[in-house]
Amino acid sequence: MQSASVTHPDMQPVGRYASGTFFQSAAEIVGWHKTSQSIFVVNAGKKTIDILDASQLTSKALANPLTDSNLAKRSSIAIQSHLPDIELGAANSLSLHNDLLAVAVEAGIKQEDGVVILFTIDDQGKATYRDYVHTSALPDMVTFTPNGKYVLVANEGEPSEDYRIDPEGSISIIRINDNGTVGEVRQVGFTEFNEYGPRHDELSKQVRVFGRNATVAQDLEPEFITVSNDSKKAYVSLQENNAQAIIDIKAAEVVKIFPLGYKDFGKYTTDISDKDGGVNLKTWAGLYGMYQPDTLASYEVNGKTYVVSANEGDARDYWYDSPSKTDCLNSGGLKFDKDDGCLAYTEEFRVKKVKVADEHPSADKAKDSAELAQLKITNTLGDSDNDGEFEQLYAYGTRSFSIWDESGNLVFDSGDDFERITAEILKSDFNNNDDETKGDSRSDDKGPEPEALAIGKINGRHYAFVGLERTGGLFMYDITSPESPEYVHYIHNRDFSVNVAEQPELAGDLSPEGMVFVAEADSPTGKPLLIIGHEVSGSVLVYELF
């Protein structure tokens, strides 16, 4: 713990933009442009980048932060209009460095090569097209290196819904010319780690490679990238694989891939049932969580890089449209459901649907819905002797954030803080969903589901901000000492008494997806800001830290 003499910043909402579009991903990833004092927002639903004017923000708190909207939209970038001859899908990510904007956009067919488009931004926030380049399949995240010389892209390479097409995952390293155009482009893939490849023996068996008929290169799906302060190393989350990769940017090669391991829920309390009548935190022997981080961020302490992860968790579950059971099974599907269609692949099962071995320490609770039965687990781990019975159970995510050193060793995990603290504050609204209001409804899945993440430095101290995708709100921690972070705040801007399905405009901010920290020197209020994009409510919220 930090010294009791440390005074941490408080937070208050000073800016908000309400798009009026709900449940359509109208505000996902956000970015900050200092020169024009503008917020850039990925509006995936409309395939645009919306540009908000934040130049008039003051330190005055919002009178009604649930419904106020004091940020005006300057304009929007219609992505498709700049590349009319290429069929594009949704924009997935953006990144800004000085006056240059990079936008990652998937192809009209996800399994085809997407693009990164570059724009220059003037002092009024106006975007001017500069250049574009093809990446690989499903460019899901884009970031500049701190020195601005490169744009890095996480090409997730997700399979098609019927799992017939499974592109390889990769990292694009795009050199940026001084005039803001594309220079050399290099692709960093994982084919050397395939079976019989020259580096296959380096791959730990704990790195999950389990897709349907997939090679290692097809199965590894880069999700997010953070870059060291010296712009030499990139750290890449391989979410479904419960692993991380380190990339040497100059050499454009994989340094190593390492598994993240598992969290023992026999040592931390958690609520794993949505049928137990509310908050019910307890330990579970024989239950483990896969870290499976989504967002990563990095910072430096005493010359060493540390990587912070939001351990969301994710399962592979692929369904596709099929007119009949016969058609489904003839096309390679595993089963047919009249509502969901044809199943191509799934690893996700509730505990009550699998056979738990008698020697499992919680075997007697495996069929009880108020105990273990409702929890969603993977069927790819835990059956250690391949007899169809599970000796251990592995759930998705760890309901926490973690800090890793530059070699991939775990130095800190927030344990059961997220559920324990939100239970104390929210009470019956604990582990709520993001698109409906029903407390405890996510306990059987991934709980509060930490996803969004940002790091900022205030008064010489490093702080991490972690957004909870389902419950909403964010945690703030002092991470100045990587081995012993201190919890500072949990704050949310949501009215849990509102029925989200009926009156989403009154519910506040739902499902934080992306965050960006603005240092006080770059802020219109003269104090640090935290900007958050909310996917379900289609809103952007700005907190001032003071």
Segment 525-542, tens digit of pLDDT: 999 999 999 999 999 999
Q: Is the pLDDT of residue 101 over 50?
A: yes
Give me the residues paired with residue 101 across strands. Answer: 96, 119
Return the closest-CA partner of residue 266 out of 243, 294, 240, 285: 285
The pLDDT score that the predictor gives to residue 2 is 46
Q: Is the pLDDT of residue 250 over 70?
A: yes
Return the closest-CA partner of residue 469 out of 510, 428, 429: 510
pTM of the prediction?
0.97
Q: How much is the average pLDDT of 24-42? A: 98
**What are the φ and ψ backbone dihedral angles of 216, each rounded to 5 degrees?**
-60, -45
Dist. CA 302–CA 153, nearest whole Å: 28
Dist. CA 430–CA 98, nearest whole Å: 40
Helical spans, DSSP H, in 301-435: 325-330, 417-426
Dist. CA 329–CA 322, nearest whole Å: 10
Question: 289 is written with which tokens?
Answer: 């969580």
Return the closest-CA partner of residue 482 out of 302, 327, 262, 318: 302
Dist. CA 420–CA 270, nearest whole Å: 8
**Both ends of the chain: CA-CA distance in Å?**
22
Q: Give me the residue label for tokens 């008494």.
A: 497
pLDDT tens digits for 455-488?
999 999 999 999 999 999 999 999 999 999 999 9
The pLDDT score that the predictor gives to residue 283 is 98
Q: Is the pLDDT of residue 3 over 80?
A: no
Dist. CA 485–CA 354, nearest whole Å: 38
Average pLDDT score over the chain? 97
Give the rounded percent of residues in the chain with a pLDDT score beyond 70: 99
pLDDT tens digits for 330-374?
999 999 999 999 999 999 999 999 999 999 999 999 999 999 999
Give the rounded percent of residues in the chain with a pLDDT score beyond 90: 99
The pLDDT score that the predictor gives to residue 4 is 59
Q: What confidence tier does 1 reach under pLDDT thresholds 50, 70, 90?
A: very low
pLDDT tens digits for 422-443?
999 999 999 999 999 999 999 9
Q: What confidence tier does 5 reach under pLDDT thresholds 50, 70, 90?
A: confident
Domain assignments of the chain as residue spans, ordered by start: 31-55+80-228
Q: How much is the average pLDDT of 215-228? A: 98
CATH of domain 31-55+80-228: 2.130.10.10
What residue type is assigned to position 112 of the chain? E
Query: Longest Cα pair distance anywhere in the chain, in angstroms?
Result: 69
